[in-house]
Amino acid sequence: MTARLLLVRHGQTVWHAENRYAGISDVALTDTGLRQAEELAGWAHQRSLSAPVHAVVSSPLERARRTAAPAARALGVTPAVHEGLREADFGWGEGRTIAEMTAENPGLVDAFQQDAETGAFPGSEPPTAVAARVCEALRAVAAGHDGHTVLVVAHNTAFRIALCAMLGIPLGRYRLVLPRLENAAVTEIEVAGARTALHALNVPTAPRTRTAPHESPVTPAAAG
């Protein structure tokens, strides 16, 4: 069994625009997120011209389904949903920003940032459980599309934890090794039985803006 999986984090949501932990909360895409979904569709269509994408599978949460839908239309396929691809439940952290949590309990936040496995938020889904669930889902998708390429739309933390598990990286270090998967960006893996190979990480799907020869691109100032 060998399959290529194009892992895509959903587009921007209202909570993510505010840096809130969305988790299992079913928050909607922003206008930016809807645009990112359309850009992903264009990217998927272009990719399929040279390397066909045979299927689209998403998390059951609305933000993932809404991101996947335009790509499925562009590819002429019916999107499927896999329950195992839902985001991690952040428990105490659900719906909060890091700043809000730090103001209430800085020790909990520090423990989480140092080791997300041993310092998981109270009431949250343990990283080991997230890894088992999401890896099982990804391997099921791969097994169901042997020899093909599948676009899989899900979530930042779910994907990062699963990637660490599949690549042999300690789960507690997922925030350090894989700080962030960008909205609507593609991470490409090859699943061959128990083996997983990483082919690309965080590939942008938005069209590139051309810069005239005499112009220089604007570089945003670094924070802090």
Residue ranges of domains in the chain: 2-203
Look at residue 84 in the predicted model and tell me its pLDDT.
99
pLDDT given for residue 215 in this prediction: 35
CATH topology of domain 2-203: Rossmann fold (3.40.50)
The closest of 38, 56, 80 to 148, measured between CA atoms, is: 56
Encoding tokens for residue 32? 């930016």
Active-site choice (39, 87, 94, 125):
87
- Name beta bridge partners: 197: 190
Res 60: pLDDT: 98
Q: Which residues are annotated as a binding site for substrate?
A: 63
- pLDDT at res. 213: 37
Q: Can you give the pLDDT at residue 1?
A: 80
What was the pLDDT predicted at 214? 37
- Structure pTM? 0.90
Tell me which residues of the chain have a pLDDT lower than 70: 209-224
- 37-62 confidence digits (pLDDT tens): 999 999 999 999 999 999 999 999 99
80-81 and 55-58 beta bridge pairing: parallel
Q: How many alpha carbons lie under 13 Å from residue 53 in its C-beta half-sphere?
A: 30
Catalytic site includes residue 87: yes
31 C-beta neighbours (distance < 10 Å), count? 9
Task: Pick the catalytic residue from 10, 16, 145, 155.
Answer: 10
Q: What's the confidence (pLDDT) of residue 207?
A: 84
